[in-house]
Amino acid sequence: MSTHNSALAAACALGLLSSAALADSPNLGKVITPEQVASWDISISPDGAGLPPGSGTPKQGEAVYASKCLACHGEKGAGKPNDALVGGIGSLVGDKPAMKTVGSFWPYATTIFDYVRRAMPYNESKTLTNDELYAVAAYILQLNGIIGENETMNAQTLPRVRMPNRDGFVTFVPAKPK
Confidence grade of residue 1 (pLDDT, cut at 50, 70, 90): very low
User: Residue 21: what pLDDT?
Assistant: 56
pLDDT at res. 55? 98
In degrees and rounded to multiples of 5, residue 151 shows phi and psi of -80, 150
Q: What is the pLDDT of residue 141?
A: 98
DSSP-derived secondary structure for 75-126: GGG--SSS---S--TTTTSSSSPP---HHHH-SBTHHHHHHHHHH-SGGGTT
DSSP state of 159: G
- Those residues whose C-beta lies under 8 Å from the C-beta of residue 67, and which sit 6 or more positions away, are none
pLDDT tens track for 35-53: 988 888 889 999 999 999 9
Q: What is the pTM of this model?
A: 0.77
Phi, psi of 121 (to 5 degrees): -60, 155
Residue 7: per-residue pLDDT: 58
- pLDDT of residue 12 exceeding 90, the answer is no
pLDDT in tens, 118-176: 999 999 999 999 999 999 999 999 999 999 999 999 999 999 999 999 998 887 788 88
